[in-house]
Structure formats: structure tokens, C-alpha cells
Structure 1
Amino acid sequence: MQWYSASDQASLDRIEDAWSDAPVDNPELCEMLLDVARGDVVFYAEAEDPNEQITELLTLLGYSDEAIAAALAALGEDVPETPPRYVFAQLQQAKNLYNAGRIVGNQVGGDGFSFVPRPLSKEIQKIIRPQSGVAHVL
């Protein structure tokens, strides 16, 4: 799955389809929000290698070392470079960043813009690294 961007008209159309309030009228701002959100997601996601996550999960579920090795071998090159949940997390984080810069209550910052920093929320963190559920590794 491809990361969201605002680099050309097709990309702007794609982001507008997914996010009706996206600031597509300002492609530079839109691209910046998406880049920052992508960086946040990638930084948080890199805490564990996908193979380590799969190994840890299958170990916790009681699979043998041989079964884990077979699962990792079966995945091989089929492991997507960008999991869809990362792309979805990027979209949600971009929305959070954008909303942080909008009017908060009745307070408006300089030039009509106010910023409240928004780190990755717990909900977005759970999208990136699900805490429970069934692994679909085979």
C-alpha cells in the first residue's frame, strides 16, 4: 500500500477521497502534514522488526521454533513494505496534526492559527502495533 502524499493532482485526489477536510487547496501544507505524520508512524513502528513481532506472537501462542521458522519462510518477500495499518495511521495522525492547528475553543493564535502539539494518540499507536487479536501470518 502506498503512503498518502500531496505531490501531484492524483495524490491530492486520493487524499481528498480519504479525508474530506484535507487542506488540498494548500498542497504544501497538506504534503507537510502527511510527511510529518508518516515520520511519526515510521518512528513508532520501527521499535520492533516485523519478523521479531511475528516470532514473539507465535512464541506466546505456543508454536514450536520449527513452526515459527516455517511461518517466517512462508512470508518471505510477501511481507508488504508498507502495511495498510501504517497508511491508515498516517492518515489519522495527519488529521490530528491538522486539527491541532485549527481554532481551539474561542482562542485563535496569530494569523488565525493556533497549535496544540499532538503526539501519536494511544488509538493510533494501537493501529500501528495492535495489542491483541489473531495474527494472519500464514
Structure 2
Amino acid sequence: MEWYSASDQASRDRLEDAWSDAGAIDPELCETLLEVARGDVLEYATAETNGEQVTRLLTVLGYPAATISMVVAALGEVDPGTPARYVFAQLQQAKNLFNAGRIVGDTSGPDGFAFVPRPLSREIQKIIRPQSGVARVF
């Protein structure tokens, strides 16, 4: 599955289909929110295999999917791709970040801006690392 982006019109159209507010956000700000959200998701996600660790690192460094697949294949592992739950979590975290910057009522700061930090909520954490109810034995 492909990460959300606001870098081109096709990406923005896809994003607006999933998040109606995205069309009203400046494209540069929207791209920043999505990148921060993606980083939050990747930071919280656990990388269990070498292939997943390599995929995560190369994704954060901005390598294209085709290059990542070639590197993972050279390691002799199957490319795990980006799990759909990570992409969904990215979208939800971007919404949280956007809402954190909205001014509600007269709660703005001295410069007219307000920001409430939004770490990954428990709901988003559960999307990234679903609880199966089965204990892991290491």
C-alpha cells in the first residue's frame, strides 16, 4: 500500500477522497503533516525482520518503492511492503496533527496561534500494533 502524500494532484485527489478537510489545507502544510505523521507511525511500529528494518530505513530516507524492493530482494527476503494499517494510522495521525493546530474559541496564544501537541493516541497505537490476545514468547 502507498503512503498518503500531497506532492502532486493525483496524490491530493486520493487524499481528499480519504480526508475531506485535506482540500482546504495548503498543499505544503498538508505534505508536512503527512510526513510527520508517517514518521510518527514508523517510529512507533516494530520492525520484526531484517527486511522490515531495511524497508523502514530506506522509506524514511526517501528511496522509491522499486529501489527498496530490489535491496530487500538482494538480502534474500520477501518485500513486506507497507501494511495498510500503517497507511491508515498515518492518515489518522495527520488529522490529529491538523486538529491540534486549529484555534478553538479564544484559546489562541499571544501571537494568535495555538498548538496542542498530539502524540500517537492509544487508538492509533492499536492500529499500528494490533493486540491479538495471544502472548508472544521470545
TM-score between both structures, scaled by the size of structure 2: 0.70
* 2:134 equivalent to 1:104: no
Contact 1:16 1:22 in 2 (8 A): yes
Aligned-pair identity (%): 75
Which structure 2 residues correspond to residues 33-52 of structure 1 after superposition, within 5 A?
A: 33-45=33-45, 47-49=46-48
Bigger Rg over Cα: 1
Query: Which runs of at least 4 in structure 1 moved beyond 4 Å after TM superposition?
Result: none
Distance 1:32 1:21 in 2: 15
Aligned length: 108
Unaligned runs of 5+ in 1: 52-75
Summarize the Cα distance change of 1:133–1:4 in structure 2 as closer, same or farther, 3 Å threshold. farther
Summarize the Cα distance change of 1:113–1:50 in structure 2 as closer, same or farther, 3 Å threshold. farther
Unaligned runs of 5+ in 2: 51-76
Q: What whole-Å deviation, never above 9, does each CA across 1:72-125 have from its counterpart, x for those lacking one?
A: xxxx62x63100000000000000000000013431235643100000001000
Which structure 2 residues correspond to residues 90-101 of structure 1 after superposition, within 5 A?
A: 90-101=90-101
Distance 1:36 1:114 in 2: 18
Aligned to 1:71: none
